[in-house]
Amino acid sequence: MPATDGPWIRAGGALVAAARMPGVAWAWSALGHRRRARRFAAAELAVDLAGAHCVVTGASSGLGLATARALAGRGATVWLLCRDAARGEAARAEVAACGGDARLVVVDVGELGQIRRAAAAIDAPRVDALVHNAGALPHARAVTGDGHEVDFAVHLAGPHLLTKLLLPRLRAARGRVVFVSSGGMYSERLRVDDLQWRARPYDGVAAYAQVKRAQVVLTELWAAREPTIAFHAMHPGWADTPGVAAALPGFYRATRRFLRTPAEGADTIVWLAAAQPPPGPSGRFWHDRALAPTHLLPGTADDPADRAGLWTALERATADR
């Protein structure tokens, strides 16, 4: 799909319109992060992760790579789950140079058979942190080898299955799971009537926002089921990543000066995954190391039946065949 700014201009407009808080664009920029970072407690991330195993999806670039670097730099063994072997190996070498240990597992997180093989390939007795970071915003509807729509597969079904397969090892570590959502989710309500865009004309921006909304709800659902594991969702604000630069050249040119660095965008991911003392309650939504509201716009409240329907749909999609 050729790079296009049209959907992102609409997405940006929707975000600003959605965020009925004064100064939200500033808050999600580098300026907002840097202002808040003055109050961050450095000691919370002065942690020794030697012996810890951390799994990061989409670790070949952007926020995932920055997260992997930060965790390895604190001594963790980091499992980089990347879909491209060459990009993954380059990232693995870069992460290994930060300290700790870095292992590559090649997996397309939208392909459930590959997820099963990847979980088996993670040769770790415990999982201290699982970061569901891999993501994309396709502009045309596509399906995976399993027949799932790609947004649904990459952001929801794949992460849900990987979480299930790693549960015993997450429990053993009293581990943490982090979903990297997006501020774009504020513009959409949870919809499960047509999760895979079979019945409507595909809209990439809406599809992206809806799966990012669903990730926040899924975090809440998992937290209610697994009291020994901490589940967190977060949004990184706007960060200067290779994905944004390649897919959104106009948006990137216009906003580049104000975008967060990948490390700044990843800061709250790393904090949720590794900080001591552990961040607050499980099942919540975070931004810049603080709890964030899950709804800003009228009409976006979750219907309890949709929440239950999301779980049912994901259980059905990820059932053993």
Ligand X SMILES: NC(=O)c1ccc[n+]([C@@H]2O[C@H](COP(=O)([O-])OP(=O)(O)OC[C@H]3O[C@@H](n4cnc5c(N)ncnc54)[C@H](OP(=O)(O)O)[C@@H]3O)[C@@H](O)[C@H]2O)c1
Annotated catalytic residues are 208
Answer for which of 29, 77, 133, 294 binds ligand X (CB under 6 A) is 133
Closest CA relative to residue 131, chosen from 184, 201, 70: 70
Inter-residue contact 72 to 274 (CB < 8 Å): no
Q: Is 187 in the site for ligand X (CB under 6 A)?
A: no
In whole angstroms, the minimum distance from the beta carbon of 281 to ligand X comes to: 22
Q: Is 283 in the site for ligand X (CB under 6 A)?
A: no
Answer for which of 33, 53, 74, 87 binds ligand X (CB under 6 A) is 87
Inter-residue contact 54 to 131 (CB < 8 Å): yes
- Mask: binding to ligand X, 156-185, rule CB under 6 A, as x and -? ------------------------x-x---
Cα separation, 14 vs 7, in Å, equals: 10
In whole angstroms, the minimum distance from the beta carbon of 136 to ligand X comes to: 4
Coil vs helix vs strand at 13: helix
In whole angstroms, the minimum distance from the beta carbon of 228 to ligand X comes to: 26
In whole angstroms, the minimum distance from the beta carbon of 239 to ligand X comes to: 4
| Integer angstrom CA distances of residue 49 from 44, 53, 74, 119, 255 | 12, 8, 5, 21, 35
What is the token pair recorded at 215? 């990730």
Answer for which of 136, 142, 165, 297 binds ligand X (CB under 6 A) is 136
Residues 6+ apart with CB under 8 A from 187: 11, 14, 15, 17, 18, 209, 297, 300
In whole angstroms, the minimum distance from the beta carbon of 59 to ligand X comes to: 6
Answer for which of 7, 32, 100, 110 binds ligand X (CB under 6 A) is 110
Q: Is 109 in the site for ligand X (CB under 6 A)?
A: yes
Q: Per CB under 6 A, which region of 31-39, 93-101, 132-140, 219-227 contacts ligand X? A: 132-140
* Residue (80 or 173) nearer to ligand X, CB: 80
Q: What secondary structure does DSSP assign to 119-183, as a single string? A: HHH---S--SEEEE------SS--B-TTS-BHHHIIIIIHHHHHHHHHHHHHHHHT-EEEEE--G
Q: At what angle do helices 85-96 and 62-73 cross, to 10 degrees?
A: 30
Q: Is 265 in the site for ligand X (CB under 6 A)?
A: yes
Q: Is 236 in the site for ligand X (CB under 6 A)?
A: yes
Cα separation, 151 vs 283, in Å, equals: 22
In whole angstroms, the minimum distance from the beta carbon of 161 to ligand X comes to: 13
- Mask: binding to ligand X, 53-82, rule CB under 6 A, as x and -? ----xx-xxxxx------------------
Tokens 């997996």 sit on residue: 107
* Residue (129 or 173) nearer to ligand X, CB: 129
Cα separation, 145 vs 10, in Å, equals: 30
Answer for which of 234, 244, 270, 310 binds ligand X (CB under 6 A) is 244
Q: What secondary structure does DSSP assign to 49-75, as a single string? A: -TT-EEEEESTTSHHHHHHHHHHHHTT
Q: Is 84 in the site for ligand X (CB under 6 A)?
A: yes
Q: Which residues bind ligand X (CB under 6 A)?
A: 57-58, 60-64, 83-84, 87, 108-110, 133-136, 154, 180, 182, 235-236, 238-239, 241-244, 265
